[in-house]
Amino acid sequence: MAHGKGDKVEKSKFLKWSLNDKAVTVDKWDGSAVKNALDDAVRKVFTEKFRYVENHNLIDGRLGICFLAVGIAIWALAFDYIQPFPQSRSVLIFSVVSYFILMGVLTFYTTFAEKGIFLVAVKKDDAGIDPDQVWRVSSQMKRFDDVYHLVVSYSSKKSPPRETKLQKSIASWFDENGVLVFSLFEEDVSRLHNSLLSEKKEK
């Protein structure tokens, strides 16, 4: 009986989501702030409720491209300091050309690799028998629109990829003061998650 009471307390603490012990409050007219708050809430559901491990490889790829571009720029700057123009001309040309090429690669990467994905979460089998379950979550909010678009996809080596979507007004989760009612949002996110697991069991 005590164990059940403890579970209720833990669940209650989870539903009262806060950031630095403060309620998450945003300007409802600031689309970027609203989207970021909801994205963070989704991340919290997957990593804290479902206990999945976040995989950072996708964003690490973007950071790697940016790091390479900055590294080439610093190298060119140092070379120009040691060997002033015109001796450094070829290095500066190489640096400028490399920058534009890498920016093209970055644009391609964010468009076709990331595709708006802000979370990749992995569930590993405790026994090490079944393959990892990989969850990818992407979101979108159009400018001057109050509808939050959320896409959750599931994949593993044993089954083909599946996805489910949610399109809902942010008024469903924020009160009149711009405070995120996490319990309502958590229910919708969990429903998407559980629907994909249900499809898996049916098959």
Q: For 167-202, write each residue's pLDDT tens digit.
A: 999 999 999 899 999 999 999 999 999 999 886 555
Q: Is 51 left (phi over 0), alpha (psi -120 to 50) or beta?
A: left
**Token duo for residue 147:** 């509808």
pLDDT at 181: 92
Element (H, E) at 187: helix 182-202
Could you report the per-residue pLDDT of 54-95, keeping only the tens digit for each? 999 999 999 999 999 999 999 999 999 999 888 889 999 999
**Token duo for residue 77:** 């700057």
**Token duo for residue 117:** 């994905």
Whether the predicted pLDDT of 10 surpasses 80: no
Angle at 97 between CA 94 and CA 103, to 5 degrees: 135
% of the chain residues with pLDDT over 70: 86
Give the Cβ contact number of residue 114 at 10 Å. 15
pLDDT at 161: 87
**Confidence band for 156, pLDDT divided at 50, 70 and 90:** confident
Q: Which residue has the tokens 């391609």?
A: 108
pLDDT at 129: 73
Give the Cβ contact number of residue 18 at 10 Å. 11
Element (H, E) at 100: helix 89-109
**Confidence band for 16, pLDDT divided at 50, 70 and 90:** very low
pLDDT at 128: 67
Contact 180, 25 (CB under 8 A): yes
> What is the 8-class DSSP label of residue 58?
H
The CA dihedral of 188, 197, 39, 63, to the nearest 10 degrees, is: -170
Q: Is the pTM of this model over 0.85?
A: no
Q: How far apart are CA 63 and CA 102, in angstroms?
A: 12
Whether the predicted pLDDT of 2 surpasses 90: no
